[in-house]
């Protein structure tokens, strides 16, 4: 498969901007983690819910007594790192109300709780505990750095924090933030041989 790195500007609710093979890997990693360490799931960077839905379906199958927590500004990027693919306001075409409506249509509203705001402003006030798997997809230095520093404090031993943007050429700020917090030998790059991409990475806690 050809390595196509063209940015996706928008998708319908319930779909994601990341390629299908990377979504499949993310879901498998979440499933593997929850089977070993049942617990809650956190996603920071929901947009229109494609990855959130996939993670919620995994959780509902493996450990439905827990929840998926989703955090998003629901008003697009509040900042930019200066990369042209990620200007201020990108991904502003999603709302919390519409996302919750979509979750109800998929019978997932009891399994998912959404929060609106900048993660670095609202995270400490949220009652988030027993997180086993965290998916961080913020694209930008400030929120990714905050998540790398603070999300592990809410996670269970042996949990996994998965950074969607690690190593992606469109998200240099995200990669920089992750490497400022974690030693490189702790970061596991996710290489997809099918299209020879390495656009994500995870840390095992």
Residue 6 lies in a domain: no
Mean pLDDT of 166-190: 96
pLDDT of amino acid 13: 95
Summarised one tens digit per residue, pLDDT across range 58-109 is: 999 999 999 999 999 999 999 999 999 999 999 999 999 999 999 999 999 9
Query: Over the stretch 135-166, which tens digit does the pLDDT of each residue have?
Result: 999 999 999 999 999 999 999 999 999 999 99
Instruction: Quote the CA–CA distance of 149 and 165 in Å, as a whole number.
Output: 16
Residue 3 domain-assigned (yes or no): no
Tokens of 127: 């009652």
- Is residue 1's pLDDT more than 50? no
What pLDDT shows up at residue 7? 78
Look at residue 3 and tell me whether its pLDDT is greater than 60.
no
**Residues contacting residue 155 through CB under 8 Å, at least 6 positions apart:** 131, 132, 134, 161, 205
**pLDDT band of 4, cuts 50, 70, 90:** low
Q: Which long-range contacts (CB under 8 A, 24 or more apart) does 100-108 make?
A: 102/13, 102/14, 102/49, 103/49, 103/53, 103/56, 106/14, 106/53, 108/53, 108/56, 108/57, 108/60
Q: For residue 160, what are the CA distances in angstroms to 13, 28, 103, 118, 165?
A: 26, 12, 25, 22, 15
Residue 159 is assigned to a structural domain of this protein = yes
- Total structural domains in the chain? 1
In a domain, 192, yes or no: yes
Question: Would the pLDDT of 9 be above 90?
Answer: no
**What's the domain range around 51?**
20-204
**Average predicted confidence (pLDDT) for the chain:** 95
Q: Which residues contact 37 (CB under 8 A, 6 or more apart)?
A: 132, 156, 157, 158, 159
**Residue 186 covered by a domain:** yes
Q: Which CATH number goes with the domain that contains 160?
A: 3.40.50.150
pLDDT given at position 27? 98
The reported pLDDT for the residue numbered 160 is 98
Q: Is residue 84 part of a domain?
A: yes
* In-domain check, residue 103: yes
pLDDT of residue 2: 47
What is the maximum span of the chain, computed from C-alpha positions, in angstroms? Answer: 44
Residue 12 falls inside a structural domain: no
| pLDDT value of residue 5 | 65
């Amino acid at each position: 498969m050809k390595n196509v790195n063209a940015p996706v500007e928008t998708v319908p609710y319930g779909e994601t901007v990341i390629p299908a093979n990377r979504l499949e890997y993310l879901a498998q990693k979440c499933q593997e983690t929850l089977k070993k360490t049942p617990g809650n799931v956190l996603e920071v960077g929901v947009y229109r819910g494609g990855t959130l839905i996939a993670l919620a379906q995994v959780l509902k199958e493996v450990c439905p007594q827990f929840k998926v927590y989703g955090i998003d500004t629901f008003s697009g990027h509040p900042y930019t790192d200066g990369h042209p693919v990620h200007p201020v306001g990108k991904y502003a075409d999603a709302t919390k109300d519409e996302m919750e409506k979509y979750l109800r249509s998929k019978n997932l509203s009891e399994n998912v709780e959404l929060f609106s705001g900048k993660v670095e402003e609202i995270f400490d006030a949220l009652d988030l505990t027993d997180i086993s798997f965290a998916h961080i997809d913020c694209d930008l230095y400030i929120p990714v750095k905050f998540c790398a520093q603070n999300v592990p404090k809410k996670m269970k031993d042996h949990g996994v924090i998965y950074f969607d943007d690690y190593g992606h050429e469109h998200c240099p700020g995200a990669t920089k933030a992750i490497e400022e917090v974690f030693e490189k030998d702790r970061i596991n790059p996710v290489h997809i041989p099918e299209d020879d991409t390495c656009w994500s990475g995870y840390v095992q806690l």
